[in-house]
A and B are shown apart, each in its own frame.
Chain A
Amino acid sequence: MTITAALLLGAFHGLNPAMGWLFAVARGLQERSRDLLLASLPAIAAGHLASVALVAVVVGVTGSLTTATVLSVAGGVVLVGFGLWRLLSKRHFRWVGMRLSLPQLAGWSFLMSSAHGAGLMLVPVFAGLAAEQTPGDGGHAGHAVAGGLGVALWHTLGMFTVAGVVAVLVYEVAGLAILRRAWFNVDRMWAAALVGAGIVTLLRA
């Protein structure tokens, strides 16, 4: 169940052009090279993974230092706050620069995913993992972190797979004109979903 949720959320991120597949396509088109497109995807996925994993570690470590209730309340408040901010703020991610090395591209992806709150939706999952460990002694914090990182990996696998398929399809078949119709404002949906997940987390705390 946890893995399915992680995969599906990853797939959702993979679909979002802003999360990286579009950058991979642009790099491929610019150099007329599908190889460059394909080489860009792991770097983008690595940045995404780092962003999500950071949240897993923070939640896991915090969980070892506090009670499950406090963790859930804190996580819920962060989710609602961040989601509302994303929903109401007009600011968007700012970056200048197209010509990036693969490590720079991974760095871009990390920043983009973090600004988007990509890892935050998994906070309830991570908090659940941490809660399972807390009845024992503090020595189990490592398990929660390891479990969280596992979830982050599954999440990124879902993201990577979907982003890869979409990128290749757009590059080879569909063409970018499809963006004009099909690029739904998923950021707004995402922000609303974060708020919803935060409320659920708070109610269960």
Chain B
Amino acid sequence: MGFMALWTPDPTFYPSPRDAAAAPAERLAYVAAFDRRAERPDAIAVVDTDPASPGYGQVVGWTDLPNKGDELHHFGWNACSSALCPYAPHPHVERRYLVVPGLRSSRIHILDTKDRISPELVKVIEPEELAKRAGYSRPHTVHCGPEGLYVSALGGANGEDGPGGIAILDHQSFEVLGRWEMDRGPQYLSYDFWWHINHDVLVTSEWGTPSMIENGVVGELLLGRKYGHRLHFWDLRRRRHVQEVDLGDQHQMTLELRPAHDPTRTYGFAGVVISVEDLSASVWTWFREDGRWQARKVIEIPAEPADPKDLPDVLKPFGAVPPLVTDIDLSVDDQRLYVSCWGTGELKQYDVSDPFKPVELGSLRIGGIVRGESHPAAGGARLRGGPQMVEVSRDGARVYLTNSLYGAWDDQFYPEGVGAWMAKVDAESFTFDARFLPHGDAFRGLRAHQVRLQGGDASSDSYCYP
């Protein structure tokens, strides 16, 4: 990798979340796009987010990957504001490379974004290296730590379905260094992770192993309450499991983790996809009290009754649409929480200045299993899929949405396909930007998943200073 050291810190690194909120607006967004049929390569699509640009709201860059069937999902940066952390500072590296795992193929791609619109592929880490060095497969979340790259993985390797866990990568050579956990305790299922970096605490969540998810949600497993329903807290320094918090096995699939950006705080939000008792979705606040980690349900979103004839087979027996909270995102100033209801087609905005008493400020409808709500730029056309991945700009002013969850699960809940769209919301007025809806052929037949904003966003950076 060409790592030209800088003379002053990378300008996209900020010591504190407060400083980061003053960052300039992003001009480009990188979007993971994948082909459900695995007939053509997945790609990173680049969308123009500069309202003053003639290409605003259009896909202006495109980078095909070398293989097929990777199923791009989440991705991250080689370096971020954590490079300023005091105990292992290295602020003269560049935020330059996207680290892009294939969730199905277990390949990890390194793409160079510097001085170009369409990123350039510079390295591929093959599944064998991840398996041999770390014993994992199905890489998912990427976070840049002060001393290396952390990549969570859903599956085991070498014939094992699990446990999933975290692999450590060298953040300059991108070699897989090994398995992060020294002592994993009772943890087996894996999905998302993040940390309270100044407290030496790492948090992980649970979805399922590859056999539980890759062919779609398995009804018996769901009703048997076998998907993940726990949070795990770890000692980040000693790499040891410290405590698990069970939300209750009716709360199936604890997915996205959004810890407070303020490094002095020790709370965060976790989204739960579905309760098998009443199909509701929920958001939980975790916190530490009397030396123990705990979690409390702070938001519950009920299912919406529906005529079975409007429902896909998977939902017909229930006569209702579950909200399916599949992503949440916390603004950098820790004041706003955005909650995606992928089933009902709703994006909710909460004031979380008191993390234990979220106040709903607004709701936007787009897509949805039954409603198929349109968008000002779609000319009244029915939109498939729902708000899924949600990303917030560093200044908290803009929110971006894409509409695919995961190939096999898209097919179950939206059997006629989800198409592809990306929408943008003004956070203050909480309205859709009528000029911004890349959709249809814009994504060349691929489905859109995670969005990363140029220079960083609300889920990319960790800060060591309050």
Contact = CB atoms under 8 A, between A and B. Distances in A.
Given A94-B147, A98-B464, A185-B8, A17 B86 contact: yes
A51 B334 CA distance: 41
Interface string A5-48: 00000000000011000110110011010000000000000000
A114 B386 CA distance: 54
Contact of B88 (A30, A32, A94, A182): A94
Contact of A95 (B88, B197, B264, B466): B88
Contacts of A183: 8-9, 91
Contacts, number: 99
Contacts of A139: none
A37 B15 CA distance: 17
A176 B16 contact: yes
A32 B265 CA distance: 12
A203 B213 CA distance: 68
A185 B7 contact: yes
Nearest to A189: B7
Contact of A179 (B91, B145, B172): B91
A29 B7 CA distance: 26
Contact of B15 (A91, A98, A179): A179
Interface residues of B, number: 38
Interface string B1-39: 001011111010111100100000000000000000000
B contact face: mostly helix, strand, loop, or mixed? loop
A10 B172 CA distance: 30
Interface string B369-400: 00000000000000000000000000000000
Contact of A185 (B5, B148, B198): B5
A26 B465 contact: yes
B199 A99 contact: yes
User: Interface residues of A toward B: which range?
Assistant: 20 to 34
Nearest to B11: A180
B237 A96 contact: yes
Contacts of A187: 92
Interface string A147-185: 000000000000000000000000000001101111111
A202 B110 CA distance: 43
A136 interface: no
18 contacts: A23-B87, A90-B173, A92-B88, A94-B147, A95-B147, A96-B87, A96-B200, A97-B237, A98-B464, A99-B199, A99-B237, A177-B16, A177-B19, A180-B8, A181-B8, A183-B91, A185-B6, A188-B5
- The 4 lowest CB-CB distance pairs between A and B, nearest first, are A97-B237, A23-B86, A176-B15, A92-B90
Given A17-B86, A92-B88, 19 more contacts: A25-B465, A29-B465, A29-B466, A90-B172, A93-B90, A96-B236, A97-B87, A98-B85, A98-B87, A98-B198, A98-B200, A98-B464, A99-B200, A179-B84, A180-B8, A180-B11, A180-B15, A181-B8, A185-B8
Interface of A: 17-18, 22-23, 25-26, 29-30, 32, 90-99, 108, 176-177, 179-185, 187-188
